[in-house]
């Protein structure tokens, strides 16, 4: 596992804070939802080189879309199990 540098930490903090604000939830709640789907690493860290060059609105849009998609998959999975 690669060590996270301070720029990545700042980016993740900004991305989560801005997205949470746009969604009207706390940063902690958003972090927990992202973490549940593994998106802190898969989206914010693994795609850091691409995302950090985007505007904050672009980053927020990407985080919201990824979360919507993963939440939908989770609901679909739960529906299939019933």
Looking at residue 82, its pLDDT comes to 63
Mean pLDDT of 65-78: 89
The predicted model gives 61-73 an average pLDDT of 95
Query: What is the per-residue pLDDT across 23-42, written as a single tens digit (0 to 9) for each?
Result: 999 999 999 999 999 999 99
Q: Which domain holds residue 17?
A: 6-81
Assess contact for 57 and 65: CB atoms under 8 A.
no
In a domain, 1, yes or no: no
Report the domain count for the chain.
Answer: 1
pLDDT in tens, 39-64: 999 999 999 999 999 999 999 999 99
Decide if pLDDT at 1 tops 60. Answer: no
Q: Is residue 44 part of a domain?
A: yes
C-alpha to C-alpha distance for 33 and 20, rounded to whole angstroms:
11
Task: Tell me how far apart the alpha carbons of residues 12 and 4 are, in angstroms, rounded to a whole number.
Answer: 10
């Amino acid at each position: 596992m690669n060590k996270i540098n301070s720029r990545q930490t700042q980016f993740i903090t900004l991305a989560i804070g801005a997205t949470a604000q746009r969604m009207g939830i706390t940063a902690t709640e958003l972090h927990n939802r992202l973490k549940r789907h593994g998106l802190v690493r898969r989206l914010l860290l693994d795609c850091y080189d691409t995302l950090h060059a985007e505007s904050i609105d672009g980053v927020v849009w990407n985080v919201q879309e990824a979360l919507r998609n993963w939440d939908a998959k989770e609901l679909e999975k739960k529906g299939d199990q019933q």
